Chain A
Amino acid sequence: MLSALYACLFYAATAVLVAGVAWRIVEYARTPAPLKIPTTPAPMTRAGAAARVAREVVLFESLFRSNKWIWLFGWPFHAALALVLVRHLRYFTEPVWGWVAFAQPFGVYAGFALLAGLAGLWARRFVLERMRYISTWSDHLMLALLVGIGLSGLAMKYLAHTDIVALKAFMLGLMVFDWQPLPADPALLVHLTLVLALMAVFPASKLLHAPGVFFSPSRNQADDSRERRHLAAWARD
């Protein structure tokens, strides 16, 4: 019964996440950028602009220049998140891929780094006057959601072990529409519920910065306005 409920929730949340983000990406891609507005100095070739976006996504280059504290909490959080997600692939693949197996021990440290980063980012929103001014309920809730996911995940590792073999069977079954029973452990259910919530709100939240950064004209445009004529469809006349 519980398994059926969570199975349906997973399907629903996945649909919302995938369709929602895909819809947003299509929107960003289809909306024209009629003028050349890279923040200069900017690379003068398209390859250079792609590299600039890559440096932002991988190293958080502008953030580092802008505010070392935010970078100190934000970058490790994102790096840890990536590692944690990689580690979790073990629940969705059989046999487990080589590099995923390799990532297992790092995943645990990543869990702590994740929480430390989030804690720092959340603390800023209380400690700094200007951060209090600009933080909305949804900013705090998003952090609460992520912290909850991190805490419940680490709880399963250190406090209340879950039957991960049964869990993996459930997940593998989900992917072929033949789900197996889900262990009804509280930590697991909290963890999964929060993850489902995250997936569902993703396309309507500020997490859209993830696809958005690739479409930001101030970063992804080359500074070649004199060399190449850039003209949007709606501006042709």
Chain B
Amino acid sequence: MAEARVLAPPLKEYPVIPILARDAMAGSKPYAASDKMNEALGFPGKLVEDWQARAISKMGELLGKYRSLRVFLDACVHCGACTDKCHYFLGTGDPKNMPVARQELLRKVYRRYFTLGGKLFPKLVGAEDLTEAVLEDWYKYFNQCSECRRCSVYCPYGIDTAEITMAAKEIMNSIGMGQKYTNEIIGKVHKIGNNLGLPPRALADTLETLEEEIKEQTGVDVRMPLDQKGAEVLLVTPSADFFAEPHVYSLIGYAKVFHAAGISWTLSSHASEAGNFGLFIGSYGQMKSISMRVREAALELGARRLVVGECGHAWRVAYSFWNTLIGPFDFLDPGYPAPQHICEMTHDLIRRGAIRLDREKNDHRVVTFHDSCNVARGAGMGGVPRGQFVIPRDIIRASCNHFHDMAPETIHESTFCCGGGGGLLSDEIIELRVKGALPRMEALKQVVDEHGVNFMATICAICKAQFTKVMPYYQFDMSMVGGVHQLVGDAIRLGEQH
């Protein structure tokens, strides 16, 4: 918690594995949730008396419910292949941010209480008691993991630190050690319907204002329907799209696409949030109950298609988990994937000639694309492997004349997390966020210098918020960040029917 202004580390030409800076980030600690915030989610309000016993018991419970946890805690051989892969380690040099070391914070306790070696010869096998100091470290360092899964790409066994982090957060929540940012937001979804706490009336007003703006700008009556029964498509999008910048330009883009293609659509005030912070805290129950709003809204409104807007972790939950959590989707039109990403939809419309784009409208932009971690490593698109890399880029190329990818080892499944995902998008840990963005910033600088890139498109609301906040620390203009549908919205020909 530095009082001094946080300075961004200098950008290097080539990525370099840092010299270990022990405890460099030992001061990074997100605010704790209040008693009420925790209790609203069914967790103890504050740290319980018998926290040690309860934590160990919870660990045992999770070991019986999640094969990933069991296998990942046993299979690590400490080969070190993951050590130079995490953006937080590369940006901070704190050795506990090396994926294997982060896992060890939990694994050493697992060994102590659940394995023969750990019970008999703890020092030999690196087993440790769950002490207050260890618990403190858990809180600090599992809140320095954005659950981006980059490490799992490179581990010989696919060990996914995100799964370990989620388990650690489940354990901490079960003993009353909740984090404010995630828990407060989940509370807002249950109480008001979305992460930002926008009540339906405010949402309706916002949409009306946007309709007016579009009319002023284009002369066309592009509608943004809310709670429209009988519309073909229910669009579920991150609530940030409703008023944050640059997110709102993507929302305008979606509306223009629906209009130009003649597709009837609606938003829902009940399901006004694509995001699902239940994922970040590793809670199956929270993920399910947050997702359930979408199913309820779809059934209530009689929608035939479910489309998800530009949100990274929401797409992971939607693509990979919705069928499990809130399926089956037998009430939707089987002719479309359920759910469908807005990029899949737009890509298909472009291919069929159902919407027309004028690339010259984006000639002032030299564009690159940032693959968001949850989309890249936790989801798919288009029904083919790697579709999630190809489809957004195809859309960009159809909307712009100038596109350049960043270095191959920093994109696609090797993409670097923006540094703000996984429930870490809060200001009290800005130092972590700035440093975590370093690898992506270095890759961006290279294409800025070499190709004059002045726009980085991305399809994740958290990436957009993180980059607009963090890029100025690196002397980049925050207006360089935007959405793919922002580009589409600027290039699309309106008044064109399919």
Interface residues of A, Cβ cutoff 8 Å to B: 24, 27-28, 31-37, 39-44, 56, 60, 62-63, 65-67, 70, 74, 124, 128-131, 133-139, 141, 201, 204-206, 208-209, 212-213, 215-219, 223, 225-226, 228-232, 234-235
Contacts and interface: CB of A to CB of B under 8 A. Distances in A.
A60 B157 contact: no
B337 interface: yes
Given A40-B388, A134-B100, A136-B125, A213 B380 contact: no
A209 B337 contact: no
17 contacts: A37-B163, A39-B152, A39-B153, A42-B380, A56-B158, A60-B156, A62-B158, A70-B80, A130-B20, A130-B95, A131-B80, A212-B74, A213-B158, A215-B67, A216-B159, A219-B158, A232-B65
A134 B278 CA distance: 31
Interface of B: 17, 19-20, 63-68, 70-72, 74-85, 95, 98, 100-101, 104, 115-117, 123-126, 149, 152-160, 163, 284, 319-321, 323-324, 327-328, 337-339, 376-380, 383-386, 388-389, 413
Contact of A134 (B83, B117, B125): B83
A36 B317 CA distance: 10
Instruction: Select the residue from B126, B149, B158, B388 with max chain A CB neighbours within 10 A.
Output: B158
A225 B67 contact: no
A24 B63 CA distance: 13
A225 B323 contact: yes
Contacts of B77: 139, 206, 209
Contacts of A204: 115-117
Most buried by B among A37, A65, A136, A139: A37
A62 B82 CA distance: 11
Contact of A37 (B81, B85, B160, B386): B160
Nearest to A48: B385
Contact of A130 (B17, B117, B339, B378): B17
A135 B63 CA distance: 25
B111 to A, nearest CB: 10
A33 B66 contact: yes
A235 B284 contact: yes
A36 B160 CA distance: 13
A56 B79 CA distance: 15
B324 A41 contact: no
A74 B152 CA distance: 19
Contact of B158 (A65, A218, A226, A235): A218
B385 A41 contact: yes
Nearest to A206: B77
